[in-house]
Structure 1
Amino acid sequence: MEKQEWLLGIDLGGTTVKLAFVNKGGAIVHKWEIPTNLVDNGIHIVSEIASSVKETIGKWPGATLIAAGMGAPGPVDFETGNIYVAVNIGWRDYPLKSRLEGELGIPVVVDNDANVASYGEFWKGSGEGTNDLVCITLGTGVGGGIIANQELVHGVSGAGGELGHITVIPEGGAPCNCGKTGCIETIASATGIVRLSLEEINKKPESMLANRHRDQGMITAKDLFDCVKEQDEAGVAVLDKVAKYLGLTAAHVGNSINPDKIVFGGGVSRAGEALLEPVRGYFRQYAFGRVAESTSLECATLGNDAGVIGAAGLAYKQYGN
């Protein structure tokens, strides 16, 4: 049987761990998930990952894993692979790289989950073929990753690329989970969009958005974009505010490094051009002229696979050659 050399990509979330075998060309061979075991401050997570990997790779007798990459929430010391703190998991100063290498018996690279997803888009997604890429992920929160001259930017303490915590409302902004106020996360995340929608509903109680809220007892980011399609006044007002501050954030980042592309991922980005078109308008308004002309704004293409592909890509970059 022909020998196959694969990479292992791991994307650790608070609910599930996504895993995938990825070939050297960046294609997923097989992917699966296991529950994230948060008992005892996550002490069992690494051993359960290793057990699942060993059981699964056994289905391919001719396959060998040459290296693994893992994305984890929170700031990471990229050199040592230690997690400074992962609040949702329960880790603090946790030696993730060395423990995973001990369990799997292969070299491992560890990075922040948003960085890893960004690298996935850079390697095999919408950023393929670029040298400089910024990813902004719009999910429950807002994350990001910066790739300059084909290298992830980590910063002095692993906090490089924390784009969700760029302040866009210096005074009187909503409180953010990071402890500050006025971060872009409080506006352009799914939870931020819901907060803005509820505020607008109070101003426009006869709007379609308000009717949806009454009918369902709740409102989501998808509801907002559905209402925007129907040109609902409240929906359009909320989207304009989200687009304004997201465009401002993109302009700040664009002016800093002038990347080939700024790519938007995460659940909110599934709105596609309905979101991107107004964001581009504000980006052109706020960005330096040459940046506005040369940096394009696009949607990510890998979806939920970005993390495992990016993790495998980092492993290949470091250990595959």
Structure 2
Amino acid sequence: MSEIVLQVDNLSKKYKKVDAVKGVSFDIKKGNVYGLLGPNGSGKTTTLAMLMGILHPTQGSFSWFGNGQEDRNRLRIGCLLETPNFYPYLNAYDNLRVTATIKNMQNPKARIEEVLEYVDLKERGKRTFRTYSLGMKQRLAVAAALLSDPEVLVLDEPTNGLDPEGIAEMRELILKIGSEGKTIILASHILDEVQKICSHVVMLKQGEMVYNGSMSDLLLQRKSYRLMADDREKLLSVLGSLQQVKILTNEPDSLMVELDENLTGADLNRLVAEKGIYLSELHAYQKSLETIFLERMKL
């Protein structure tokens, strides 16, 4: 079993009459990319701020690396929670030297060169920060988070405000970091990016957790199929008699149905055949993360 790097137990944050986070519990395992997913106002940033020691929980607890909430844990974590904040008239090298000083790093020159090359900014390292595009600023912020070679990287909305090219560059950078074994916790409301990047999902709705598990399990929780038969009316009648089947759409050229978790497409084919119906079409259909997300937000 993978090593657990973060345990969250009944974490809550209340502001006067607003419950921003309500009793959230989950574990983060080493080497995975976790998406903290939810609409604006769902509690993602508040949760990360508590985990990074910026906010104090109203209730509950968390533990990094089995060490509780000790300050030394943050030396093992790289973090980007807000808009990149660097000195505008300093270049990338000098800004990272300031970051290295704050982190008490000794002789950081070689490491600064390394992280700038890693985020594809080495050739532009002598340009001042104020001349950078938003995408370049975000990549420099990731370089700063990686400077001390942390075990865990925490990112809050890293693609927010970026153009399509910037989003693609950030996505590829995060995938590269994850492929090298670092644990990543990524908060986002951009569903397509979460689906492309994350191996696991913690889904929040109005401060409450509505899903915690692997991306693959989430996408396959409910199985949908497109099907058709020559005797359409009899097929509809048979499907309506099966409690394990829910008819989603009834179009002239096909039907879309959703099956219970314990029923396969082969099972469905057999059940309708036993009723004298032979399917002319049966295609598995995987719901997108967007579809599943919108369904869970309506519950």
Q: Give the TM-score band, short-chain normalised.
A: under 0.3
Larger Rg: 2
More strand by percentage: 2
When the two structures are superposed, what TM-score results if normalisation uses the length of structure 1?
A: 0.25
